[in-house]
Every structure is written in C-alpha cells, then in structure tokens.
C-alpha cells in the first residue's frame, strides 16, 4: 500500500482521479446526518486513499468539557479506500461517488493540500456543526484547489428551509435526539439558511456538486457518478412507548391528576412543586450556560428559557412556606405569561420547539394556574 510518508514526492499521473464520497446516514444521532470524504486514486503509483474531516478522539483530555464549551478540536484523517468501503458497508450505510472534472494542476493542488493538512501539526481544527464540519470542508478544499472557479448552482429540487428544518429532516421528531437538539439550540437556527449554507449536510454536498459547473468553461464539476454500495432495507423499530411524547405524556397526566387531587384537597404537594421548579430551573441554567458561556453558534437566543426559567431555583424556598409572599403570586402569573409568549413565538415562527415537550408545557400551565388560585 502507498506510504503517506513519501506522498510529498509523488506527482500524480494523468490517470489520477479525485472524487467525493457521500455516505448515507446511520441509525445513531452522531451519524444521523451522513458523512463525506475525498478519494484519491492513481493506479500508476498504486494510490487509492480516502481523506475525511470530522474525526474526534473520545480519549482526548477534557473531551466532554470541551465539547460542551464548543472548543473541541476535530481533525482530518486518512485510510485505505477499501478499508473505508468495508467499514461503511458493514454498517449498511450507502456510499455514492462523484468523480471530479478537475485539471491535472487542480488535482495536484488538491492532493498536496490534503497531504499538508493531514500532517500532525496541521490536522486539528475547531469544529462548527453548521459552518466547519465534514461536509463544508469538502466544499472549502474544492474552492482552494480550483481557485474559487466552481459555480455552485442551486439543485432543481431545492427548497428554502431553516437550519432547524434541515436538521430535523434527518431525524425522527419524536426522538430523544431531536428533543435534545430542539432544547439546546436557539432561535438563531430558525432563520432561513442561504442556499450554499445547505451544504453543511453531506447529502447536500452531493446534490450541489451534481449541479455545479466550472465558471470559465461551463463544464460540469462532476465527470461521472455511481453508487459504490447500495444501502439494504432495514427494519424500522417502533419505539413510541419510549419516545419523549409518550414519556412526557404520562408524566403530564400524572402532574395534572395530582394537581386535580391537590385542588380538591386545597393543599398543594410540596414535593411536586419543588421537583417541577428545580427541574425547570436547572434546565434553564444549562440553557443559559450554552448561550453565554460557550462558543457554540447555534445555542444563542434560546427561547426555551420561557418554560425552563432559571430563576425558579431561587424561589423554591417560597414553596416550602404555608403562606407565600405577595410577590411570589405575581411571579407565578409571570410564569404563566412566559408560557403564553412561548406559544406565540412558536406560532409566528420565531422559534420551533420540541413536540415532545407539548404535554409537559400543558401540565406546567395547569400547575401554575392552580398555585395562583391556591396562594391568593
């Protein structure tokens, strides 16, 4: 097999081909959006190598802390093409190839760039899900190799969409992964994405490249394309009874039933009040930290704070009193207003919220109304 240590000495032959590989999504959240890679093939020098961005090391120091803070380094990596093919075919993830219509100089430039980028001192980069990931890197490297001579035309089936819609199109909206994304990411991802910004998804790299042309010549960017591995049909598991909508639905019914019992007895359950205020407060603090204490670009302006209100933690002592202060009654009314504002934000499209939260939000509204009635 070709030795990368000697790569800088190789001048690609006229038989060399450079292609873009697009891998279909997998079943788990971390591979739900697919993957992209470059393939460099030159039979003259027995080269058949893939380079892909977006690799990370779970064992890196402070991995989870850096991930939470948005300071996690990802990297480029390489592998033999047939190892790449075997890996993704083993996991039944389809692979499509687009052979690029590049000049000899452009092929060499792109190859040299990948080799230089793959050196240990160069391979790490600060990851951004929307603007600097395994897919956007493909586009960026192509632009470097061709001196920005590629015209990225809009695909025929292109539809305008927000970043959130583009994400959720790849997920089951009633899944825990979808719920986590909708809670953690703010209204900044509900704006319409520019056409080229759609290319943060690997499948859209494929679609845009299929329609791309070379500016000067008008030639298509893709010379030929074919399927390397066709994904086999897989059984779809019906996990409704473990889904957020079902679980939160059961919890909401329990909260509403206990609230009804409290109303009849004219005595609120302190443990239930403390639990609800503690959980919503803790989630609110988490959202605030994602917004203000991290470098994530998608966690800003998060109106989940309208139901997960961080100040709920500070008012818990009021719930332990037999007679609450007058200001606390006003505070409860304020929480009701916040839930109404959340509904308005959802209806007018300022931010889309997780459908799994609907039962919980209804239960919170009912509980807050009861507490206002009780403390009056």
The per-residue b/e assignment along 300-313, b for 16 or more CB within 10 angstroms, e otherwise, is eebbbbbbbbbebe
Same domain, 173 and 286: no
One pLDDT digit (tens) per residue for the chain, 376 residues: 344 444 456 899 999 999 999 999 998 888 899 999 999 999 999 999 999 998 877 666 665 566 666 677 889 999 999 999 999 999 999 999 999 999 999 999 999 999 999 999 999 998 888 999 999 999 999 999 999 999 999 998 899 999 999 999 999 999 999 999 999 999 999 999 999 999 999 999 999 999 999 998 899 999 999 999 999 987 776 788 999 999 999 999 999 999 999 999 999 999 999 999 999 999 999 999 999 998 888 999 999 999 999 999 999 999 999 888 999 999 999 999 999 999 999 999 999 999 999 999 999 999 999 999 999 8
- Whether residue 69 lies inside any domain: the answer is yes
- 283 found inside a domain: yes
Looking at the fold, whether 286 and 155 belong to one and the same domain comes out as: no
Is 235 a member of any domain? no
Mean pLDDT score across all residues of the chain: 93
Q: Could you tell me the maximum CA-CA distance found in the chain, to the nearest angstrom?
A: 86
Q: How far apart are CA 302 and CA 190, in angstroms?
A: 10
What is the CATH number for 189? 3.90.1720
User: Could you tell me which of 110, 81, 356 has the C-alpha nearest to residue 243?
Assistant: 356
Query: How many CA atoms lie within 13 Å of 221's alpha carbon, on the beta-carbon side?
Result: 26
Q: Are 144 and 261 contained in the same domain?
A: no
Within-domain flag for 23: yes
> Do both 164 and 297 map to the same domain?
no
Among 229, 248, 279, the domain boundary falls at: 229
Q: Could you tell me if 123 and 244 lie in one domain?
A: no
Question: Containing domain of residue 107, as a range?
Answer: 4-229
Q: Does residue 234 lie within any of the structural domains?
A: no
The total domain count for the chain is 2
Last residue of a domain, one of 229, 252, 282: 229
* Residues 69 and 167 grouped into a single domain: yes
> Considering the domain boundaries, does residue 116 fall inside one?
yes
Are 169 and 249 found together in one domain?
Answer: no
For residues 326 and 186, membership in a common domain is answered with: no
Residues 271 and 180 both lie in one domain: no
Query: Residue 202: inside a domain, yes or no?
Result: yes
Pairing between strand 35-42 and 17-23?
A: antiparallel
Q: Are residues 209 and 138 in the same domain?
A: yes
Among the three residues 186, 206, 229, which one is the final residue of a domain in this structure?
229
27-33-37 Cα angle (round to 5): 110
Rg of the chain over CA atoms, in angstroms? Answer: 26
**Does 248 lie in the same domain as 223?**
no
Q: How far apart are CA 183 and CA 202, in angstroms?
A: 24
* Residue 98 forms part of a structural domain: yes
In tens, the pLDDT along 127-184 reads 888 999 999 999 999 999 999 999 999 998 899 999 999 999 999 999 999 999 999 9
Does 41 share its domain with 155?
A: yes
**CA-CA distance, 29 to 16, in Å (whole number)?**
36
């Amino acid at each position: 097999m070709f030795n990368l240590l000697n790569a800088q000495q190789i001048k690609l032959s006229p038989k060399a081909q450079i292609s873009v590989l697009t891998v279909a999504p997998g079943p788990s959240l971390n591979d739900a959006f697919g993957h992209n890679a470059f393939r460099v093939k030159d039979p003259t020098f027995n080269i058949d190598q893939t380079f892909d961005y977006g690799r990370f090391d779970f064992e890196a120091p402070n991995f989870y802390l850096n991930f939470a803070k948005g300071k996690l380094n990802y990297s480029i990596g390489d592998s033999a093409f047939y190892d790449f093919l075997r890996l993704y075919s083993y996991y039944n993830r389809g692979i499509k190839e687009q052979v690029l219509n590049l000049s000899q100089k452009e092929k060499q430039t792109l190859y040299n760039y990948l080799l230089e980028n793959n050196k240990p001192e160069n391979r790490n980069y600060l990851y951004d899900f929307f603007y600097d990931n395994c897919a956007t890197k493909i586009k960026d490297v192509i632009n470097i190799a061709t001196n920005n001579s590629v015209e990225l035309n809009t695909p025929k089936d292109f539809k305008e969409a927000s970043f959130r819609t583009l994400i959720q199109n790849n997920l089951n909206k009633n899944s825990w992964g979808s719920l986590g994304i909708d809670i953690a990411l703010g209204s900044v991802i509900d704006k319409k994405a520019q056409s080229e910004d759609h290319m943060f998804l690997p499948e859209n790299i494929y679609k845009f490249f299929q329609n791309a042309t070379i500016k000067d010549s008008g030639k298509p960017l893709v010379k030929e394309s074919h399927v390397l591995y066709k994904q086999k049909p897989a059984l779809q598991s019906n996990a409704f009874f473990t889904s957020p909508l079902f679980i939160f639905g059961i919890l909401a019914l329990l909260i509403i039933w206990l609230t009804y019992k409290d109303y009849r007895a004219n005595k609120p359950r302190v443990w239930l009040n403390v639990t609800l205020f503690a959980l919503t407060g803790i989630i609110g603090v988490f959202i605030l930290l994602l917004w203000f204490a991290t470098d994530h670009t998608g966690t800003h302006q998060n109106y989940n704070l309208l139901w997960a209100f961080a100040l709920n933690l500070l008012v818990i002592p009021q719930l332990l009193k037999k007679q609450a202060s007058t200001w606390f009654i006003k505070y409860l009314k304020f929480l009701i207003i916040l839930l109404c504002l959340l509904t308005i934000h959802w209806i007018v499209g300022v931010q889309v919220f997780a459908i799994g939260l609907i039962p919980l939000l209804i239960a919170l509204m009912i509980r807050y109304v009861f507490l206002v009635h009780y403390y009056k």
